[in-house]
Structure 1
Amino acid sequence: MTMISPSAIAVQRDTLQQRVAIRLRELLVQGGFEPGSKLNERELCEQLGVSRTPLREAIRLLVAEGLVVLDPGRGAFTPTWSKDDISDTFELLGALEGLAGELAAQRITTEELAELTALQHEMQAAYERRDLPNYYQLNARAHDLLSEAARNPVLRETWKQVNGRMHALRFRSNQDQSKWIKALDEHAQILAAMKARDGAAARQLLEQHLRRKRDAVLRLNLAETTP
């Protein structure tokens, strides 16, 4: 009889937990829930085809990322954002991405530049298909790649923590066609700065890019809250 070690079982459970977290993150980011909505465990278990244990473990992961808020005694909810929350977080995120871009322009490898170029082409194709979910995944990878290329582990971990909270808001900021094409053009300019090894330009472009994201989210938030 072959014995399965407890460590092997733990790995399998963690894998399921992570898969559930990935799918639930997609639902949260892509507008599957309104701000302040309670996550119904029974409905989510049916939708995702899992039991409550991996779902709850996945929710705990997303709480750590800031995509879910736990209210003791009431359950898990999607976060709500005030105008100040949005402004303050995007202000910090813009500073982090600007610094990452400046460092990345100096430290990015040839292989990373090739990947960034390929991502730009794929983002353009996704835009032409009006495939926002795929565009967002490509866009998220481009920003992630820049944080990697900065070669500063402390900066990267801080960026990941702050950026994780903003996924849903960043996704929604491109739902307007004019803002979407503008964002795509800004990414093309950022790529050009990377290829030119122009750190100052990369920093300025990324900070501007995040300010535009902030303004788009604030306008959307205002429109949704105004009677």
Structure 2
Amino acid sequence: MTGRKRDDDGTGHGHSADRAYAIIRSGLLRDEWPAGTRLLETELARRIGVSRTPIRDALRRLVNEGFLEYAANVGCRVRGWGRNDIDSIFDLRIELETYAARRAATRIRPGEIRQLTELCDAMEAVVERSLGLPELRDELTPLNDRFHTVITEAAGNARLTPVLASVTFAPMVLRTFRRYREEEVMRSMGHHRELVSALESANADWSAAVMRSHIHAGYVAMMRDAVFEIEP
């Protein structure tokens, strides 16, 4: 019987592709490669310790998520972001996440309220540890992503979840917490707590209003002193 194909690191191809994706994505979020930089499969394969096949799969996934762009005869390059890109992303987030919060208010289950409360606790613990150390705020990103995903899933619209994921996981959005001033971080945490209260009260108007304010506040933090990688 033929066993599952192993990659250079001794693991299956699927695991290697996931690991390559995570490593490259992490580097992109840390601005390890400036906009326009070509990412070469051979160099990445040598660095990560896998063959080119999982690297190719990881790059394809990052192109689909908007981190990279592909051009014929050039390959994959780090995507640049301009003001129009950011404006478009936040315009979509405001409308879609407000809609999600409104729907979730009348559909959310007690277990999901508990999840949101636990995520608030975890995020506030990170904030306490990161006072004066903005680089530690990267730990907020997966917790914040999960918080918003729980609300989106609670809205009960299967088509909404993948659409919102493609917007909220845009690279420039994921870097937002590093731009926050400390008072803005605290305000964001307050919005999260108020959202939980509004959702638990099944008040659709309140939930939508808090979410709209929350996204607008994120936009202000994102745009303040922003240096765009491409001209608008």
Return the TM-score normalized by structure 1.
0.86
Q: Aligned pair 1:31/2:31, yes or no?
A: yes
Q: Secondary structure at the match of 1:26?
A: helix
- Post-superposition offset of 1:36: 3.0
Q: Aligned pair 1:72/2:80, yes or no?
A: no
Q: Secondary structure at the match of 1:174?
A: helix
Q: Aligned pair 1:177/2:181, yes or no?
A: yes
Q: Aligned pair 1:209/2:177, yes or no?
A: no
- Post-superposition offset of 1:182: 2.3
- Post-superposition offset of 1:27: 2.4
Give the aligned residue type for 1:78.
V
- Post-superposition offset of 1:224: 7.9
Instruction: State the partner residue of 2:111.
Output: 111
Give the aligned residue type for 2:207.
A
| Structure 1, unaligned runs of 5 or more | none
**What per-residue deviation string (whole Å, max 9, x for no partner) do you get for residues 19-42 of structure 1?**
322332222234333333332434
Structure 1 or 2: larger helix share?
Answer: 1
Q: Secondary structure at the match of 1:153?
A: coil
Give the aligned residue type for 1:192.
S
Which deviates more, 27-36 or 134-143?
A: 27-36
Distance 1:183 1:66, change over 3 A: same
Q: How many residues align?
A: 220
Instruction: State the partner residue of 1:137.
Output: 142
- Post-superposition offset of 1:9: 4.3
Q: Secondary structure at the match of 1:107?
A: coil
Q: Separation in 1 of the partners of 2:158 and 2:88?
A: 23
Q: Secondary structure at the match of 2:226?
A: helix
Displaced runs of 4+ in structure 1, greater than 6 A? 223-226
Q: Separation in 2 of the partners of 1:147 and 1:108?
A: 10
Q: Aligned pair 1:191/2:190, yes or no?
A: no
| Structure 2, unaligned runs of 5 or more | 131-135
Which deviates more, 216-225 or 107-116?
A: 216-225
Instruction: State the partner residue of 2:223.
Output: 218
Instruction: State the partner residue of 1:49.
Output: 49
Q: Aligned pair 1:89/2:89, yes or no?
A: yes
Q: Secondary structure at the match of 2:73?
A: coil
- Post-superposition offset of 1:170: 2.3
Q: Secondary structure at the match of 1:76?
A: strand
Distance 1:40 1:219, change over 3 A: farther
- Post-superposition offset of 1:173: 1.9
- Post-superposition offset of 1:15: 3.0
Give the aligned residue type for 2:154.
A
Give the aligned residue type for 2:124.
Q
Q: Separation in 1 of the partners of 2:230 and 2:57?
A: 32
Q: Secondary structure at the match of 1:123?
A: helix
Distance 1:113 1:86, change over 3 A: same
Identity within the alignment, %: 27
Q: Secondary structure at the match of 1:213?
A: helix
